[in-house]
Structure 1
């Protein structure tokens, strides 16, 4: 049986604008033009398909042209493309202009780093399950209870760490974020987790670091006992996984 693929070719593109670029006569030996020697004239395209209404390129048209060119550059970003099969912990991928990925990590043991003045040992500790939402320049982090992979109705909790904004955004401080356009999804996830866990926790931000007990005492206790993370200390947010997707 053959598939009907007519709809795949149904988009029609209609010309609506034409640009004509004028330049001064070539004067240097390399035949190059300087940017100050160029004049751009814009034409609307009439119903007959012919250019009409010639006028100097306006500021509004320049902004539109810039957005089109920028969109073409953004399309080169591949950090949302997998090297192979989509990793099982990936929950969602948004490939729009300001794209992002959402993934899940189960309860685990990781070494956390704290500035010396907090009096918290920088040792491996048990941490709760987490949901990560990251673009090329920012990271949001949330906690979830239990060890099962979350579903759309899973309730989110404040990530119980320092350096957190109330909306879940992580303050990365002096950490230099460098996500190259050709980074694949697997490396993108690995880089963000490395940036987060290798940074130093130092401060709270406007009540963003919310737990049901004193946060310093919480992590002092976790470092001293090595016990499973006490999920009863997590503070619920009025959000589900579906809301952040």
Structure 2
């Protein structure tokens, strides 16, 4: 057990300088780090000269993080991961495939297009793309699903999603896709039908007839401004509150 004598002793002169107004004279300090409108300024002495050096957040992160990190083996669907001041964010890609969807009281077995699923803190987004292979420059479209808002944000209803992380993102995806969908946010997601549930029911009938049926990507509607996946991810990771 450490005793009080093991802790560093700060002199009165040093303490007085610490609590003085910045920038300090550095008479008793080696340096100081100033936070100015999200900018980081390192103030130190070179001889008698006061030096002020701007630092990036990456440099600071490396300076303070001396512990090795390891994500472990990542699920194949995870394609990007990062962090912001409000939490971690993760991007997943699910190529076109068939799902069992519970739509109100009816269970549907439907093919869906490739989907991009983004989690940031406790907010989640889902967008459709027209290709089987992922590319960050693909245009995003409205996911052909109820309970997804106009910008792609998932409306969870009374479900409390987990905070987004590398270890929770896939289970959150299956919680979403396995939830019961209702009539909320069903408009503006199909060229052919006013209500996306009508398209899902049509695809359900076709899937039961042929194993080769695919979701008609020509029926997808682009999200406003024709955003790419890269642009959309950048937008939501900077704007989500």
Shorter-chain TM-score: which interval? 0.5 to 0.7
> 1:147 aligns to what?
132
**Equivalent residues in 2 for 1:1-245, closer than 5 Å:** 18=18, 43-44=20-21, 46-49=24-27, 82-84=71-73, 86-98=74-86, 99-116=88-105, 121-148=106-133, 150-179=134-163, 185=166, 187-205=167-185, 207=187, 210-214=189-193, 215-226=196-207, 227-237=213-223, 238-245=226-233
2:84 is paired with a residue whose SS is: coil
The higher relative CO (CA closer than 8 Å, separation ≥ 6) is in 1
Kept in 1: contact 2:77–2:92 (CA 8 A): yes
Alpha-carbon displacement from aligned partner over 1:60-85 (angstroms, at most 9, x marks no partner): xxxxxxxxxxxxxxxxxxxx97332x
Between 1:88-97 and 1:164-173, the stretch displaced more is: 88-97
1:109 is paired with a residue whose SS is: strand
Compared CA separation, residues 202 and 123, structure 1 to 2 (3 A): same
CA distance in 1, matches of 2:173, 2:26: 56
Q: 1:114 Cα deviation (Å)?
A: 1.1
1:171 is paired with a residue whose SS is: coil
Report the count of equivalent residues.
171
> TM-score w.r.t. structure 2 length?
0.62
> TM-score w.r.t. structure 1 length?
0.61
Compared CA separation, residues 176 and 48, structure 1 to 2 (3 A): closer
Compared CA separation, residues 48 and 128, structure 1 to 2 (3 A): closer
Contiguous gaps of at least 5 residues in structure 2: 1-14, 30-68, 208-212, 234-241
Q: 1:17 Cα deviation (Å)?
A: 8.2
